[in-house]
Structure 1
Amino acid sequence: MREIVLDTETTGFEPDEGHRIVEIGCIELINHIPSGETFHRYLNPERDMPEAAFKVHGLSEEFLRGHKVIAEEIDAFLAFIGEDKLVIHNAQFDMKFLNAELARLGRPALPMQRSIDTVSMARRKFPGAQANLDALCRRFGIDNSARTKHGALLDAELLAEVYLELIGGRQRGLSLEDDGADMASSIAAEIRPPRPHSASDAERAAHAAFLDKITDPMWRQLSGKSDQA
């Protein structure tokens, strides 16, 4: 099963007011485990950067001017996400920006049904508790010390860990090598010492006494015929 954990940074809150995406970060999950494959792009929004947005992500108009516009990156982005589910923190926000950019380019919208909203998941699992990414990292003991500002790829990496916790918790040790060693130790601990199969003197004596109670047993007749032969 393939899923894409996705995050974006923008120039503001509403694409209808002319705000644009300036960064996209994606992490590929295979069977809920990060595969190591990522997609990350900074994008030239072809507009100014409001001070409020700059304080959030630290991406300046000057820095972004040196990167490609989304029209030049959209094919690579769509190829990376394919037709798979999109895991997004507050999916409504990111999906409306992605679909606004796709509409500008005359591309089909991404269906909202493709998204898995981790904010909704967190609110169902922890009613009344904070559901922002920092709060969930604290709850699950995930190190977010590098998150001094918002960044699409870093936030997607943190969200991947949060998502795995929300769906039931990370497996103890994702290393196959460690799991193999643990399994071998467990099996070795359960192996019993070999049982001797030859009868003891006491068992042979008990068997002979039992046979003496049987009148003319067939196996003794056969044994006698064998001796005569």
Structure 2
Amino acid sequence: MDKRTFTNRLVVLDTETTGLNPQEGHRIIEIGCVELVNRRLTGKRFHTYINPERIIDDGAIEVHGITNQFLEDKPCFADVVKDFIAFIQDAELVIHNAPFDVGFINYEFSRLNSQTGTVTDYSKVFDTLTYARKKHPGQRNSLDALCKRYGIDNSHRDLHGALLDAEILADVFLLMTGGQSSLLDEGQGRQEGAAVNREIKHLSADRPALKIIRCTEEELNAHQQRLEAIEKAGGGCIWNQ
């Protein structure tokens, strides 16, 4: 696969919505973003819940657990758009299944005014789903499947959440694009309960001693005969040196 060069500043982004299709009037209800600079978390993030001014589909609530009642006192998209644009400006957005999230954001932009433009007026976009399908053809490439493939602990992810999914995707992205095993410098923590499980486990000093199973004379003789056969065949057996 071709090596991909990324900008120094990346923003890993995810959204939750009232439904699946903005063309049917569905809206964004949560945006979560985390910032990476030179492939390291900076600790900066953008996170907000949004009042969609419409009813959330029951199927969507089953996915993310966000209810209409919870969003009643939250700001509208127009109230947060300025801060959101400022956060993503001049970054490269890292999104899993980017057409979905970008489509919703562009729909929200279009509802404001003709001067707002589209996502690509502010940022480049990198789709981790497209990348994963090229890197792992014929395999499942959902975020959960990628977590399993790269050994990322997402057991705390009972429901979808924009900020949590953005943090998990940051781990996936770094491992998938560079083999990097950690996205944090020493001393830089992420939100509790949202980190890759890298705790060192120490064995108890009181544990029973390991059982040593020794070879029998017959097994030792068979082993030596095998080494001699390798030597005769010109194999240069290092165990006889």
The TM-score normalised by the length of structure 1 is: 0.74
CA distance in 2, matches of 1:174, 1:29: 10
Task: Select the structure of larger CA radius of gyration.
Answer: 1
Distance in structure 2 (CA, Å) of the matches to 1:6 and 1:93: 12
Q: Shift of residue 171 of structure 1?
A: 4.7
Sequence identity (%):
50
Partner of 2:137: 127
Residue 160 of structure 2 is aligned with which of 115, 133, 150? Answer: 150
Whether the aligned pair in 1 keeps the contact of 2:40 and 2:185 (CA below 8 Å) is: no
1:61 Cα shift? 0.4
Query: 2 CA distance for matches of 1:117 and 1:125?
Result: 13
Distance 1:38 1:63, change over 3 A: same
Q: Does 1:115 align with 2:125?
A: yes
Counterpart residue type for residue 29 of structure 1: L
**Structure 2 match to 1:9:** 16
Measured after TM superposition, the shift of residue 163 of structure 1 is 0.3
- In the alignment, the residues of structure 1 paired with residue 44 and residue 182 of structure 2 have an alpha-carbon distance, to the nearest angstrom, of 22
Q: CA deviation at 1:175?
A: 3.7
Q: Quote how far apart the aligned CAs of 1:34 are.
A: 1.2
Contact kept? 2:39, 2:183, Cα under 8 Å: no
Measured in 1, the distance between the counterparts of 2:182 and 2:119 equals 35
Amino acid at match of 1:23: E
| Alignment-mate amino acid for residue 49 of structure 2 | Y
Is 1:42 paired with 2:49? yes
Determine the C-alpha separation between the residues in 2 that align with 1:20 and 1:48. 10
RMSD: 1.6
Map of 2:28 onto structure 1 = 21
Q: CA distance change for structure 1 residues 176 and 65 in 2, over 3 Å: closer, same or farther?
A: closer
Please give the alpha-carbon distance, in whole angstroms, between the structure 1 residues aligned to 2:141 and 2:154: 15
Structure 1: state its 5+ residue gaps.
178-229
Q: Is it true that 1:67 corresponds to 2:74 in the alignment?
A: yes
User: Displacement of 1:162 after TM fit?
Assistant: 0.3
Distance 1:97 1:175, change over 3 A: closer
One-letter code of the match for 1:110?
V
Change in Cα spacing, 1:172 to 1:8, as seen in structure 2 (3 Å) is closer
Query: Is the contact between residue 40 and residue 183 of structure 2 (CA under 8 Å) also seen in structure 1?
Result: no
The one-letter amino acid paired with 1:43 is I
Q: Is residue 33–residue 45 contact of structure 2 (8 Å, CA) maintained in 1?
A: yes
Aligned to 2:228: none
Deviations 1:154-188 (A, max 9, x none): 000000000001112115685469xxxxxxxxxxx
- Per the alignment, residue 170 of structure 2 pairs with 160
2:178 alignment partner, SS class: coil
Mapped to 2, the partners of 1:136 and 1:47 lie a distance apart of 33
Q: 1:167 to 1:129 in 2, by over 3 A?
A: same
Cα displacement (A) at 1:116? 0.3
Moved over 6 A (4+): none
Rounded Cα–Cα distance in structure 2 between residues aligned with 1:79 and 1:111: 14
How many residues are paired up?
Answer: 177
Unaligned runs of 5+ in 2: 1-7, 188-241
Give the structure with the larger helix fraction. Answer: 1
Partner of 2:209: none
